[in-house]
Each structure stands twice: as C-alpha cells, then as structure tokens.
Amino acid sequence: MSTLLSTRPLDTVADFPAIPAGWAYLDTAATAQKPQPVIDAITRAYAQDYATVHRGVYQRSASMTYAFEAARERVARFIGAGAADEIVFVRGATEAINLVAQSWGRTQLKSGDRIMLSMLEHHSNIVPWQILQRDVDVAIDVAPLTADGQIDLDAMAAMLTPRHKLVALAHVSNVLGSMLDVERAAALAHGVGAALLVDGCQAVPRMPVDVQALGCDFYVFSAHKLYGPTGFGVLWGKAEHLELMPPVQGGGAMIDKVSFAGTTFAAPPARFEAGTPHIVGALGLHAAIDYVDAIGLDAIHAHEAALVAETRSALGALNSIRLFGPENSAGIVSFAVEGVHPHDVGTILDESRVAIRAGHHCAQPLMEHLGVEATARASFGVYNGKQDVEALVRGMERVARIFG
C-alpha cells in the first residue's frame, strides 16, 4: 500500500462514537455516521432548549425560533444561495424532488413537454418524474453514459430540444462516484429554455458547492448523508421559481389568512413547510455543516480521492474483480466479483468487520446498463483511513479464498 493516504490524514474517527475500534464503516453513501458535536446539538435541543417555533411568545420558543431560522441562514451560506428564503426545509432529497415535480412540474409543464434524465439516476430522481409523466403526459428522455460511467453531456447536447423544459441530474452518482460538470449541464439546459435540477446528496458531504456559481435552478440534498440527522433535507430553488410554485400540503404555518371563503398562502419558503417542522433536525444539520466546514470540504475531497485511488489500485490487482466508474470518482467505489453475488461479498466482509453496501443501490436502470443485477459498494467519509482500505482488501482476499 502506498503512502498517499498518510499525507492527508483527517484524524476524525475519535469524533464518531458509533464507530468502534477495528470496525471499517464503508457505507457513507447510504448514510453517514454522526460526530459528537451533532449528537450534542441534538441532545441539547431536546434535553434543555426544546420548544416549538414560530408560534410561542415566551422566551424559549423565541430562542428556538431564532436557532431554527439561523440554521436556514447557515444552509444558505453553505451552498452559496442568494438568500435564506430560497432554502426550503423538507424531510430529505426524495421529498424535495417530489415537491418540485408536484408543484413546479404540474404548473409549469404541459402535455408534450419533455424531461431529460440520465442513465445513472437514483430512483428518487426517476420515479417522481414518471408519476408526473402519468398525470401530465410529459415525455422522459435518458442521457447515456460515457465508457467510464459519466453522464455524456455531448450526447445530451445532441438530444436536447426546445421541448425540453427540465433537466434533472445527479451531481455525484451514488453508485459510480462520477462527478457531473454542473456548469456545462446548466448551460446546455438553459440553451434550450429548460431548468436544471441537481441531486446533490453525494456531493455536499464531499466537495464545496456554490449553487449560484453552478448555474442550476434547483438543488437538493439530505442531512443524514452530511453527518446530520435523518428525516431532514433541503430544497434550494431560485426565488423566481419558488414564487411560481403552489403548496402541495396544507396546514398550519404555511398560510397568510384562512377563512371558509378561501385561503391565501405565505411567501416561500413557509408555504412549503406545512405543520410543525423537524425543529431539531434543522439544529442538527447546522451542527453538521459547522463540523465539515471546520475540516474543510477541499480537504475532505482530497482525502476521499486518495482513499478511492488506493482502493481502486488494490482491488484492481485482485483476480476476478470488475471495477465500475471513473478513476477519479468522488468517495465511492463499486465493484463486482466474478461468480460471487454481492450479498455474499457483503456478508463475508461483515464477518471481517467491514461494512459495505451490496445491492442495486436504488439505481436499477443503471444496473441493467452495467449488465449486472447488483454491485458491492465501498463509500468513504471523513472518519475513514488507509486502515479501512487495508481491511477491505483483506476481506476481499478472504472472499477469493472461500469461493476459490
């Protein structure tokens, strides 16, 4: 094993109490473990500071409201949004995409319009558009991939027409780790009058994101992949798009005035946040953003790139292993072993105290494109180091011995 990793240590594993010594957690693309500052923020919010937001006139409610809205402002700064009012709090990226589909899509698209996706999209960036297709009669096109598993923007450029009104693509593939040139994708989409939605779930924990510089129209991500709590996520949208979008849920907090004669709705983002919000989720995300910013996203990206390089080199030297995706994938390495089901690989690795993901990764169309039913996937976080790569390789050598 080379010394590449030792030049970029993050030394953060002690911050993660759920990672015991000797356990290689390589499933961060599914969900990230939580650092102690995030756990402390959540515990403090429930145990000491808890109250509802936006409604109470007493001091604790006012303080919690301030903290909740401070989290919105923190998210806006983190992704380079123009204003905090462009940040909509949701349950996760899945809900964010569904919100855009059911609100923006239903009002801005009509029969005969087209949506452009890609072959590597997560189901959460396919199924909501298929539901819209059923109800609004839009058409869906699928951009192909390059030989190394990146979205083929040259091919997409040739496919786009003025009938395309939305392009929805992953910033980083959750299977292949391939990174989208978002600026070019935005230019291509806008060149035919289409909006661009970007699924940033795998990007925001791994690299700096500036939505205004990227040029996209919508950007979504989930807190739990960013070392924050589950059940919480973010939709960013340009103000002009959010203003056009009607609410898809009704209830408290999202209204201007209610009467039996009719109801008027609050301005964004409140109109999309019906009911009592996940207050502590917002505070947990705030703490998670502070945590990764203290490390530095450039340092995180460099560290994970080194881990990927080491892993691809080591696994590539073993017989019968097929690697997927580009050499410079972002924090994710998917692979298959000839004659061995990925679930068997995952089970044997678990016996060696190595946790990976095995399956179709909510990307069945991509699996069909790759010619496999499933893959094994190792994905990295700030807590991983070369010892985890070595444990993975030892485990894969054991797989080879067991299956001959």
Identify whether residues 278 and 330 lie together within a single domain: no
- Quick one: pLDDT at residue 6? 38
Q: Which residues, 6+ apart, have CB-to-CB distance to 325 below 8 Å?
A: 148, 149, 173, 175, 176, 177, 178, 332, 333, 334
- Do 245 and 312 share a domain, yes or no? no
CA–CA gap between residue 107 and residue 246 (Å, rounded) = 8
CATH (domain of 384): 3.90.1150.10
Helices (H), 113-165: 127-136, 153-159
Residues 368, 373, 378: CA angle, nearest 5 degrees: 105
Which stretches in the chain have pLDDT values below 50? Answer: 1-8
Same domain, 19 and 58: no
What's the confidence (pLDDT) of residue 4? 39
Q: What is the pLDDT of residue 5?
A: 43
**pLDDT recorded at residue 9:** 55
Same-domain status, 231 and 344: no
Tell whether 15 and 85 lie within a shared domain.
no
Q: Which two tokens stand for residue 336?
A: 């298959």
CATH of the domain at 124: 3.40.640.10
Q: Which helix (H) or strand (E) holds 87?
A: strand 87-90
84 in the same domain as 71: yes
The last residue of a domain, from among 293, 326, 359: 293
Last residue of a domain, one of 263, 293, 323: 293
Half-sphere exposure of 325 (CA within 13 A, CB side): 31
Pair 398, 315 in one domain: yes
Residue ending a domain, choose from 293, 324, 342: 293
Residue 327 confidence (pLDDT):
96
Which range of residues forms the domain containing residue 108?
Answer: 38-293
Question: Are residues 246 and 386 both part of a single domain?
Answer: no
Which candidate in 127, 239, 362, 400 is catalytic? 362
Domain match, 163 and 23 both: no
Same domain, 268 and 308: no
For residues 243 and 391, membership in a common domain is answered with: no
Annotated catalytic residue 216 = no
* Inter-residue contact 366 to 120 (CB < 8 Å): yes
Rounded Cα gap, residues 362 and 342, in angstroms: 15
Biggest CA–CA distance in the chain, Å, is: 74
Instruction: Looking at the structure, tell me whether residues 20 and 42 fall in a common domain.
Output: no
pTM of the model: 0.96
